[in-house]
Chain A
Amino acid sequence: MTRNGVAVDFTDVTRVYGAVRALDGFTLHIEPGEMVALLGPSGCGKTTALRILAGLDEQTSGTVAVDGHDVTDVPPNKRDMGMVFQAYSLFPHLTVLDNVAFGLKLRGKARRERTDLAADMLDLVGLSEHKQKYASQLSGGQQQRVALARALAIQPRVLLLDEPLSALDAKVRVQLRDEIRRVQLEVGTTTLFVTHDQEEALAVADRVGVVNEGRLEQVAAPADVYAHPATPFVAEFVGLNNKVSAQVVDGRAHLLGMSMPAARGSIGSGSGVALVRPESVTVTADPAGAASVTSVAFLGPISLVHCALADGSPIVAQVGSAHTTGLAPGVQVTVGVEPAELLVVPAAAKP
């Protein structure tokens, strides 16, 4: 079952639709067997990159190589890539088993062999008891699992997942997300996963690439992307961020009466805006505090405490729900930031 994946290389790939540059000098290397998630808002070009790799779209310039070979002129049906689509894509006229065996049939496998292989694949995604059903008899999550089994049955060189979870409801989404990761690790296929959901990307991928306006802003391990965003856009898109005005002096950021190191990519000196994650913000009830609580949103294990700073600007703190006693709207508080590197961007920057 285990297969060594192949490397995938996008080199300076650009795709222009009329006046829109959907991809603009997109360069990405994917290691054999690695799972890379492309994360970005809709229309940022991440799906275009995936479709170009699949051969369903064509780049205007640049090259795409699989296992070191340029695949630009290879039609999609010869690229050997398994793809799971955002929309349900099972063939409605075939049973689940025949859907999974479809690609094997095209590869000239004997009936016996393809039925066995397809059954194995359905085992892998936990749907062996639904073999004889039709797509219309399955739930959305089951359909996407069959689609995954179908994509993997052909033992593709690369697995392409185009927002496979976005049509599903929240609970199924999390389940299937973990399932996809488990299966991917089991078969070891190089995988490109496209999503607009940061939690999804951070949870499953070896590396996350954040895409904005056709460009890769940052590619790094999920923890790095989260902790050390390379650009204001990444900081803004990955996680909710507070913007707190800060002064940078000698490589240190001064804000809320505290001082901490300014991260790489920050402005050199002068005043700017520090991007602070809600979980790094501390709120303490303090009758002498300059800030006040405006509202508290209870989210189960955690709560979001919205405060107004002395100058009236808003800030959100994420606090364990056990620690919110005494934090009611109107209460005076002291707001602080846990010491860590902070990214400070020019005040006018619109991330």
Chain B
Amino acid sequence: MISSRLRGRIGRGLLLALFAAFFLFPLYAMADFSTRNLIQGGRTLQAWMNLVQNEMLYRAIIVSLLLAVFTVVLMLVLLVPTMIWVRLRAPWGRRLVEFLCLLPLTIPALVIVVGLRNVYLWVVYFFGESALTLTFVYTVLVLPFAYRSLDAALSAIDLKTLAEAARSLGAGWTTTILRVVVPNIWSGILSAAFISIAVVLGEYTIASLSGYQNLQVVIVAIGKTDGPTSVAASLATLVFGFMLLLVLSLVTRGRRPGGASIASTAAQKGRP
């Protein structure tokens, strides 16, 4: 009995080590390469300093971070009320909304860019020539992921009853959504936001094809002349995304859908 348990443990440890090696080795290689002094030998942090010192790279980082923030805000503002509304008032439209939200997954980036060219003439006309106008495409691009997260969170609560209870207690629609629904789908909102950030920070094709300089485009450009800096930027993005997902998993695990604290979760486990 014990020996089989022990064997299971060893097997699990072995697998974990294998996976860790598989995933961490490239990261280690990137870290090693980005801190190497290619000309004089030895170590240097110049590549990492370039993240803020290289004007083009620094600006691209800012652009990508801003894009991530704007995309998340626009996505939440569009999607959360729509999904709540569809569930409460127009259940017949749920399949349609789901289909529309998942559609971007099935369309290749190239097709999106070509299709968007005409639309962007207008976008540029109204908002000016700025990489930040990519917010609109990215919002469409993250819809499938955000939809899935929010849909799961909304399915986990009794939305109709909660909304009706709030309404009967005197809450208008805005109050109902902000004070009752949002706190109860908080984990879904967080995961939608984090996944969207990860998607936006890693996006290359659309930005490159439409001629805007976001982080990935600049990394590729720099990579042609300065290897270590582009690798440093890639690693930074990877680690940042990894940390986001880690925080996400910690936050959503510690926090019940109800939002009760960890202590209350423990108290609940104590109950028969």
Interface residues of A (CB under 8 A from B): 54-56, 75-83, 85, 87-93, 102-103, 106-107, 133-137, 147, 150-151, 154, 160
Contact = CB atoms under 8 A, between A and B. Distances in A.
B180 interface: yes
B184 interface: yes
A75 B170 CA distance: 9
Given A106-B169, A154-B170, A89 B161 contact: yes
Contacts of A147: 165
B257 interface: yes
11 contacts: A56-B164, A78-B170, A89-B161, A92-B184, A92-B259, A93-B259, A93-B260, A103-B170, A106-B171, A147-B165, A160-B168
Contacts, number: 90
Contacts of A82: 168-169
Given A93-B260, A136-B258, A83 B268 contact: no
Interface residues of B, number: 27
B264 interface: yes
Interface in B140-188: 157-158, 161-162, 164-172, 175, 180, 183-184, 186
Nearest to A54: B168
Q: Which of B170, B175, B256, B259 has the most CB of A within 10 A?
A: B170
Q: Which of B161, B169, B258 has the most CB of A within 10 A?
A: B169
A91 B186 CA distance: 13
Given A93-B260, A137-B268, A77 B168 contact: yes
A168 to B, nearest CB: 16
A131 to B, nearest CB: 13
Contacts of A88: 158, 161
Interface of B: 157-158, 161-162, 164-172, 175, 180, 183-184, 186, 256-260, 264, 267-268, 271
Contacts of B183: 91, 93
B153 to A, nearest CB: 12
B175 A106 contact: yes
B171 A77 contact: yes
Contacts of A54: 164, 168
A77 B170 contact: yes
Contacts of A136: 256, 258, 260, 264, 268
A55 B268 CA distance: 36
A164 to B, nearest CB: 12
Contacts of B175: 106
A93 B184 contact: yes
A137 B267 contact: yes
A262 B267 CA distance: 63
A55 B186 CA distance: 28
B257 A92 contact: yes
A134 B167 contact: no
A89 B165 contact: yes
Given A133-B264, A151-B168, 8 more contacts: A77-B172, A79-B168, A89-B164, A91-B165, A93-B186, A93-B260, A134-B258, A154-B170
Given A91-B180, A137-B267, A81 B258 contact: no
B168 A102 contact: no
B44 to A, nearest CB: 50
B191 to A, nearest CB: 17
A134 B260 contact: yes
Contact of B258 (A80, A89, A135): A135
A102 B264 CA distance: 21
A13 to B, nearest CB: 19
Nearest to A132: B264
